[in-house]
Amino acid sequence: MSTVEEFLTSKEELEIVQAIRQAERNTSGEIRVHIEKSSEISHYNRTLEVFRMLKMFNTKQQNAVLIYVAVQDHKFVIYGDKGIDAVVSTNFWQATKNVMQQQFKLGNFKQGIINGVLKAGEELKTHFPWQINDEDELSNEISKG
């Protein structure tokens, strides 16, 4: 599987969007997924570029999370904004990474992303619980590069 278009079906993408909505019901945090074929720069640096491109740094509490997947490179990065980094331990995203990696190794990419999204929402809930006046500040749609 070498192209972004072949990575997930439309139905699978819809299931991931539903998982994002479900995860965000419990937290004021914002979660996005970005999928692209590969990156010519380090995957971490590319994740930062995408984070900026999607204007994810504009959330009120700076509590947005980007799950970046480079399909052909077999790499993924989970990046949280500085509001998250200010209140969590250095290994905060390890559990999310583990649930994703477990499914990815089995070739279950959709389920890996869904598990990652739901786990990220769970992790965020502790530090950024949902509030009555919360707004959905970012799109829930999957972006592609």
pLDDT digits (tens, 9 = 90+) for 3-46: 677 889 999 999 999 999 999 999 999 999 999 999 999 999 99
* pTM of the predicted model as reported, rounded to 2 decimal places: 0.94
Question: Which candidate, 89, 56, 51, 88, places its Cα nearest to that of 68?
Answer: 51
pLDDT digits (tens, 9 = 90+) for 54-82: 999 999 999 999 999 999 999 999 999 99
Question: Which candidate, 90, 83, 70, places its Cα nearest to that of 128?
Answer: 83
